[in-house]
Structure 1
Amino acid sequence: MDLTLKKQVFAACQTRLTERIADLREEMKETQLAASEETKSSAGDKYETGRAMLDMESERLSGQLNEARKLYDALMLLSPTKSHDKVQIGSLVATSRGTFYVSVGLGAVKVDDVAYYCISPQSPMGQVLAGLSAGEEAPFQGQTVQVMEVV
């Protein structure tokens, strides 16, 4: 593993979040359009129910959009060009249980058909790996996780 790979994993995270934000914005526009159509074509109780459902959907999407923006902002604080000796936020870590990018909780991203797991430092695995160096190990869910490399 090297900094080039770390930059690629960072870029994959950035792309996923950018696409997620764009998708949520589009869904919000569609919901707002549906709400305006509901206003024009409905009256009475049916209107109130439909409008309430659209308002709830709009609130849900707004919350998801805010969360995606927070993740994006947190990701952008990291420097993919900085190397680490010990696992910390921003580290790419090869372990006996997979390769993890300690950044934001996004799940797996693929680079050249290989999965890299983007985890937050507050996640259970992030907490176990924190402060470890290559060659060290720690218990995790009844098994041992060995750190093979840290970038």
Structure 2
Amino acid sequence: MANNITIGLKHELYKACEAIMQAKLLRIKTTITELQQSLNSETKSSAGDKHETGRAMVQLEREKLGQQLAEIQKTIMVLAKINVINTTKTAGLGAVVFTNRANYFIAISAGMLQVHDRIFYAISANTPIGQLLMGKSVGDHIVFKGDPIKIDHII
């Protein structure tokens, strides 16, 4: 059974990741809406080819944003699988891993987070460091970019 401090830390890390993803989602959706409005408001000018080229470029941008939106939604689904109440003895999705080099929250790639006056790196299990940490236990060692890293604690 996890204690309240552990649950609080994991919950805050989770909420920080969630806020980052919601901000990205909002940015992409806003840009898609703006592009759609631009596309809808454009009228045919006397320079027909120029108009069609502009529309094609806007359409390509929309497609690119659509792919980014799909990726963000997929990442949000991964985040939703994390149970912040559970603790574990091995590093896996949702684990907070304390090492002699850095602290990691294995969830999504969201970068550096500061919680409880400590720095954590939110990483995906698919990142190189995430792959090295997955399945490891307290006391295990890994080597990342030539640096030896010892796992001190996992929650």
Correspondence list, 1:104-143, <5 A: 104-112=108-116, 114-143=118-147
TM-score of the pair, normalised by structure 2:
0.89
Moved more, 72-81 or 136-145: 136-145
2:31 is equivalent to residue 59 of structure 1: no
Rounded Cα–Cα distance in structure 2 between residues aligned with 1:120 and 1:41: 46
Tell me, which stretches of 5 or more residues in structure 1 are unaligned?
Answer: none
Rounded Cα–Cα distance in structure 2 between residues aligned with 1:112 and 1:58: 40
Q: CA RMSD in A?
A: 1.6
Identical aligned residues as a percent: 29
Q: Which residue number corresponds to residue 106 of structure 2?
A: 102
Rounded Cα–Cα distance in structure 2 between residues aligned with 1:42 and 1:126: 53
Note the C-alpha offset of 1:96.
2.1
Q: Deviations over 1:43-72 (max 9, x none)?
A: 501111110110011011111111000000
Rounded Cα–Cα distance in structure 2 between residues aligned with 1:27 and 1:97: 39
Rounded Cα–Cα distance in structure 2 between residues aligned with 1:16 and 1:111: 14
SS of 1:101's partner is strand
2:151 is equivalent to residue 150 of structure 1: no
The residue type equivalent to 1:78 in the other structure is: I
Rounded Cα–Cα distance in structure 1 between residues aligned with 2:8 and 2:53: 53
Contact 2:9 2:116 in 1 (8 A): no
